Structure 1
Amino acid sequence: MDIDLSDEEIAFRGEVRAFLAENLTDRIRDGAASSPTVFVEPDIGQDWNAVLNERGWLAYQWPKEAGGPGWTPTQRYIFEKECALAGAPNLTVLGLKLVAPVIYTFGNADQKAEYLPRILSGEDYWCQGFSEPNAGSDLASLQTRAVKEGDRYVLNGSKIWTTHAHWANKMFVLARTDATGKKQAGISFFLLDMDQPGISVRPILTMAGDHEVNQVFLEDAVADADGLVGEEGQGWAIAKFLLENERGGSCLAPKLAYDLDQIEKAARQESDGYGGALADGIEWKRRVARLRLEVESLEMIELKILSNIAKGRPPGPQTSLVKLLASNIRQDVDLLAVDLYGTGGLQLPTARPLYGENAPAPLHSPGAQVASARYLNSRAWTIFGGTNEVQSTIIAKTVLGL
């Protein structure tokens, strides 16, 4: 695997760095740094999306025929890495990286024309209706029903852990259109308007006090016939395609490396209790070094996947390995931050957001203020997008052949 950059790729990296230096404002960077959740608040995320869209870079993962810039897989990775190392916020993944690839891969011409431009403009903000109270890791057991009535489908059921449903005006939903055969074969994929009487949203507050997820109730909710993506019964295949993008369609190692850099920087300012800096302690250095090596190993796996994609191969089940490792490292990095600040990191303000004029004042430092909330929020990493147990089973079966 050759990971050296060509002259053209080095020049592209310089272009991205220059763009970030000019356009990534302190407000957006500070907002991202003060967001304890995986998804930044829409005001920060959408503002950054608008900056990228104006440059033509928001749809950087999309093929050129779908409205993307036509970048190579290496260019996409360079862009994500430089954004992460600059402290840019995560993009609104549900629309840009999950449902958009489904629409331009499986959708018809009308669906592509209607939805893709609105994702880029920010007019549509999407949430994902997959998990249910009794169908989480065993997603094929979902019970939400979709019954065709004339030129529309009527949906009844409930979805849970629905990220940003309280902000979204659109939802992509898995629902059962046939209950007579194999359970995977009876699932279909729908696009729904959230603003209708048949949909209600109930907030779920996390341990950290964040309102990021919700339970959504569908009571005779309506999807027009053109809200069906693909054919009836194709939903399971579409869902597997989408989840493969979710689990391994991004580079996660650079963001982890950036967070480690910030922790190391802060550790130089924290006392070890003996007249020195915490960063100088041998045990602290060992912990940081171990995590640094794990992050670098993760990046090597991501680059291997990138190499396969560049050769026209699908990312494959190795994405489950990335998801598994990244989730565990994320939790270890966030634990390191809590240990860094000690009692100063135990502040757990309930106000949100933790940036802007109305944000609560930190008792110790901005990093300490967000440390506990981020640690509690990252407990979900080993659950969402498929639990660690699910990823381990996929790896055992499809990678190791067990």
Structure 2
Amino acid sequence: MADPPPAPWIGSVAPESVLWPGVRGTQQAAEWHNAPIDFWFLPKYAHLPHPVVPDENIGGMLTQLSATLRQRLDAVPPTPPPRRTRPGERQDNSRLKTYRTRLRPNTQQMEALRKTAGIVRWTYNRAVEYLKAHPNASFHDVREHSVTEDGLPLMNLSWVTPVLYSIREQAFFDAHTALRNGLADVRAGEIPNFELKFRKKRALFSSFRIRTRDWDGGCLKIPNFSLGPGQHQTKIQTGIDVPSLEHDGACIKQENGSWFLLWQKDMGEEKMRVPAARGPEMCAIDPGVRTFATIYDPLRGTAAKFGDGDHKRLFRLDTHLDELISGSTQASAKKKCYRMRRAANRLRARIRHLVDELHWKLRSYLKQSFDTVLLPKFNAHQMSRRGQRRIGRKTVRAMMTWAHGRFRSRLNEAMEVV
């Protein structure tokens, strides 16, 4: 079977490849130096043995490229396709950005959050039970059955109603919207069938939505659980000060015993625009597996590596994670299985935090040092597809752990896409 033709961008950079360090054809190898930075990964930099001298030809090419990029940026973007939204949610969210911060409740506040999440889960399961029996029920019917006091059993009113009506209402919204979207996908032929599932009490992840009025004075407001800005109430400490919420649909999420707040903020048109294509401050990124990213700056005559050889540490954690998953599936005792699943989720969070730190540090470096970044296509999912891939299992695991697609999305948030 013949090899596929090279990508178009490979032919354009092939004549310049002899100027890069460590490339075949370079007679003088570059010497890499460790950057004096205290990160878990080790950045390296090197000076190119033959830096490109910006003559008239290269200057004209960069000027023409900058003009082309500027013209693409100033063009009117195409209209995004419509999407299904929840009730009360805006259809156009192109200028909204989701933020996430850690909640640090004390023992009493954590018990209040746990009770709130349990009541929301009970409301959601009650709505799912009603929708299973009445698939064509309207919003009003589900609300009357699962949220309002007239539809609730008398024996449950004493412990359900302490949670605000607006918070319990979001649970039935989620159930009804999930059923509507699932049936729409079945009619469109995207999935063969759809069935609503109940939420489990021992699930390792749980969440509930709040509205803008449920966040008052920079904290979650549930008066019956002593949460709020009042005199005899307490505030939950947050990693980032959030005085108020701009949009409904904020989420309080629990992950393996840790609580987080996710909310959306309107960035504004002036904040989303980032100057680009101003001149020769350009670089090219070479994504990889053993080295997460190699950055080439031929005009300044430098190159940098981020995550060089650090895939070994992540692969060791991945191997430990596989052992926990294998042990949890083979464990006969439910308690042991549950504890191993919790340990596996903690390890997943540890791996993600390490990768996220590399992403944020590299994004900050690119944003401060360059105004244009050339990033080639790196479709990890297509390269790792079984039956078509030409790389081994360990290479696929290391490549997926780096999360190149997530880094591309984060870089797109900081710089405009052309």
TM-score (norm 2): 0.27
Q: Which has the larger radius of gyration?
A: 2
Q: Which one has the bigger helix percentage?
A: 1
When the two structures are superposed, what TM-score results if normalisation uses the length of structure 1?
Answer: 0.28
